[in-house]
Amino acid sequence: MSKESAAAAAFAALQETAQQNWAGLREKPLILIGAATCGRAAGALNLLEEVKNELARLQLDANVLEVGCMGHCYAEPIMVIYNEGFPPICYGYVNEGVGARIVRDFLTEGDPGIEFALAALEPNDMFPTFADFPRGIHENKIVMEQCGFIDPTDINHYIATGGYGALVKSLAMTPEEIIDTVKSSGLRGRGGAGFPTGVKWETCHNAPGDTKYVICNADEGDPGAFMDRTILESNPHLMVEGLIIAARAVGAQKGYVYIRAEYPLAVQRVTLAVQQAREKGLLGDGILGSEFNFEIEIFQGSGAFVCGEETALIASMEGQPGLPRYRPPFPAVAGLWGKPTIINNVKTLSYVPHIVKNGADWFKKTGTEKNPGTAIFALAGKVVNTGLAEVPMSTTLNELIFDVGSGIAKGKQFKAVQIGGPSGGCLPESAMDTPIDFDSLTRAGAMMGSGGMVVLDEDDCMVEIARFFLDFTQKESCGKCTFCRLGTKHMLDILERITKGQGRPEDIDVLLELADKVKAGSLCSLGKTAPNPVLSTIKYFREEYEAHINEGRCPAKMCKDLTAYYILPEKCERSCDACVGSCPTEAIYDNEDRIKVINQEKCVKCDSCMVACPPQYKAVVKLSPPHLVEEKEKEYREGKKKWQKK
């Protein structure tokens, strides 16, 4: 028996066990509960307990599984029930009490409780599936296919759904064949830069030396981004399989998963996945009876954003301070401990098993020629359906935000979308037809980044947004090189002044000049891209900067120093004291007409009165610049005088 067929035979045995285990689940009703970090934050663990208690109370027999996240984070906690005679149904917003009720009605009376259902998971004639909604039309799940549908803590589920098949296939391929497949698939690194993965692998493969390393970069740190976390928590084996195949391709014996320690659940699930893979003979010495040896170790990052930069990541693994260094040499030639090393993002590695299994041509069918495959975005901010979405490259921003994300929350007006995290930029309405791919987004002044997308509405001040992101990069700058350390500091100081109403006429020009130099002069990509949020907001929203500087006015009424709260006398319902009770500083009093007035000296602009004022009155408004309050008050007094004369 040849080595390859021995591996295939060994794997067939694993598959049989896995499939028995998987089929066994469906012998009883099966209940899945989305318990990734997003689900847990929404109360998934309480739901889990509630469902288990209800099953015990009713003495019902069902399998209950904790699964990951399928991307519909907005509707969390989420529950899926497979019940004989019905299509599998996914329920959303399963809050306290609802879970027990659905389980009770469905499993005892056959009432699926469609009022709580989001969608069915399989086509049927009673209830729409996700594919019937605008979101479903755009969604195309490759990496996220099994996320939320399998137990991430059970390797059998992954194997039963086709997992590790690509590894077996790759064992029968030469390293060159694997690299060729990845190269011709056109896969580009999903960490942000979009470098062709196959080229990186080839460089590492051709680099001299017997000791080589592969590293999975899971140091996700962009504000508002949670793609890698969700994938690792929902289907860690996909990345593990990708990493093993990468090792086989470049000739590495050791791999690391660099996960930030702030992702404890992801760390736990990846650790378990590696352990299970080892127990099944998919890791370790002589993988599946072949001559290929490979081990994976988990390395927890200690919370520095810059450690997502590959040279800083390596430095931190070597026990050095996490500072980037000048390239070349590139890590693919001299990386960890000076050995050839490839570092790939979680998503990049998660595509690899699919590409190896289905071939390069299959992958190229999705997306565009230069940007094949899908893009995975974490939709956050003022969008209705926050969560994770996987759509083909070349889907437009418009489609992603308004179809997949269902538009802007609370009926507000869309203003901009911040893409690519602190290295990315803000794109306005006019850029909404931009197709999502590495090149188009860069041309528009943003960046693909690793997939963070923060949607902004009319209440968001673009100067403040730029300040927020620059504050982040400035704090996370390692401080090694002059431009990033001091350039971002000066830029931040200027932005802070502007948001406080102390802007100077020359500020915009100084910002542009500094931004240009920081981009050109910085050592690593953190500095080279740090000015992007400032540049893109000046490019598209210059009038907002000018309003702050020249008029002391914040158009979005977000900057506290440029905004004052005011109660419209004509709208105030005199006998209602809602605002008075809500004010923490007792700044609201009755005037002689029993109309509520805000003492501006005492007001701390906490927004409580605006929230407290009943929606039928909507009497509390924000005014910018703040001196408008005096004018309004004067107007009111004069109007009253006139009325009294009559």
Partner 1 sequence: MAEKVTIIIDGQKISATAGEMLLRAALDNGIYIPHLCAGGEETGHPPASCRLCFVEVEGRPAPVPACTLPVTEGLVIQTRSERVDGLVAAGFELLMSNHRLDCKNCPANGSCELQRIAKARKLRLKPKNLPVLDKNLPVDDSVPGIIYDPNKCVLCGRCVRACRRSGSGVLGFTRRGYQRVVTTFGDSTLAESGCTGCKECARACPVGALSQTD
- Using CB under 8 A, which residues numbered 511 to 570 contact partner 1? 513-514, 517, 520-523
Secondary structure (DSSP) of 256-317: EEEEETT-HHHHHHHHHHHHHHHHTTSSBSSGGGSS--BEEEEEEE-S-GGGGSHHHHHHHH
Please choose, out of 25-33, 233-241, 420-428, 476-484, the segment that lies near partner 1 by the rule CB under 8 A.
476-484
- Using CB under 8 A, which residues numbered 248 to 307 contact partner 1? 304, 306
Among residues 159 and 481, whose Cβ is nearest to partner 1? 481
**Measured between alpha carbons, how far is 344 from 335 in angstroms, rounded to an integer?**
13
**Measured between alpha carbons, how far is 403 from 68 in angstroms, rounded to an integer?**
24
Secondary structure (DSSP) of 211-230: --EEEEEE----TT--HHHH
**Measured between alpha carbons, how far is 332 from 179 in angstroms, rounded to an integer?**
14
486 binds partner 1 (CB under 8 A): yes
Q: Are strands 414-419 and 425-428 parallel, antiparallel or unpaired?
A: antiparallel
Taking the complex as a whole, the smallest distance from the CB of residue 307 to partner 1 amounts, in Å, to 11
Taking the complex as a whole, the smallest distance from the CB of residue 119 to partner 1 amounts, in Å, to 46
Taking the complex as a whole, the smallest distance from the CB of residue 327 to partner 1 amounts, in Å, to 9
First to last CA, the chain: 108
Task: Tell me which of 425, 487, 503, 555 binds partner 1, using CB under 8 A.
Answer: 487
500 binds partner 1 (CB under 8 A): no
13 binds partner 1 (CB under 8 A): no
Taking CB under 8 A as the rule, which mask of x and - marks residues 309-328 in contact with partner 1?
A: ------------x---xx--
* Nearest CA-CA partner of 601 in 613, 591, 589: 589
474 binds partner 1 (CB under 8 A): yes
How is residue 464 written in tokens? Answer: 């403040």
Task: Tell me which of 479, 512, 568, 632 binds partner 1, using CB under 8 A.
Answer: 479
Taking the complex as a whole, the smallest distance from the CB of residue 355 to partner 1 amounts, in Å, to 32
Taking the complex as a whole, the smallest distance from the CB of residue 306 to partner 1 amounts, in Å, to 8
Task: Tell me which of 477, 499, 563, 608 binds partner 1, using CB under 8 A.
Answer: 477
Among residues 390 and 476, whose Cβ is nearest to partner 1? 476
Among residues 61 and 506, whose Cβ is nearest to partner 1? 506
Question: Which residues, including other chains, have CB under 8 Å from residue 593's CB and lie 6 or more apart?
Answer: 569, 574, 640
SS3 82: strand
Taking the complex as a whole, the smallest distance from the CB of residue 475 to partner 1 amounts, in Å, to 6
Number of residues that bind partner 1 (CB under 8 A): 31
Q: What is the total residue count of the chain? A: 646
332 binds partner 1 (CB under 8 A): no
* Nearest CA-CA partner of 149 in 163, 137, 135, 138: 163
Please choose, out of 142-150, 239-247, 489-497, 608-616, the segment that lies near partner 1 by the rule CB under 8 A.
489-497
Task: Tell me which of 375, 481, 588, 597 binds partner 1, using CB under 8 A.
Answer: 481
Taking the complex as a whole, the smallest distance from the CB of residue 439 to partner 1 amounts, in Å, to 17
Asked if 552 and 500 touch (Cβ cutoff 8 Å), the reply is no
Q: Which residue has the tokens 């009038």?
A: 543
476 binds partner 1 (CB under 8 A): yes
Amino acid 545 reads: Y
Task: Tell me which of 490, 500, 539, 605 binds partner 1, using CB under 8 A.
Answer: 490
* Other Cβ atoms closer than 10 A to 227: 28
Taking the complex as a whole, the smallest distance from the CB of residue 184 to partner 1 amounts, in Å, to 28
Taking the complex as a whole, the smallest distance from the CB of residue 510 to partner 1 amounts, in Å, to 6
Among residues 251 and 335, whose Cβ is nearest to partner 1? 335
Secondary structure (DSSP) of 314-381: HHHHTTS-------SSPTTTS-GGGS-EEEEEHHHHHHHHHHHHH-HHHHHTSB-SSSBSEEEEEEEE
Binding site for partner 1 (CB under 8 A): 304, 306, 321, 325-326, 474-483, 485-490, 493, 506, 510, 513-514, 517, 520-523
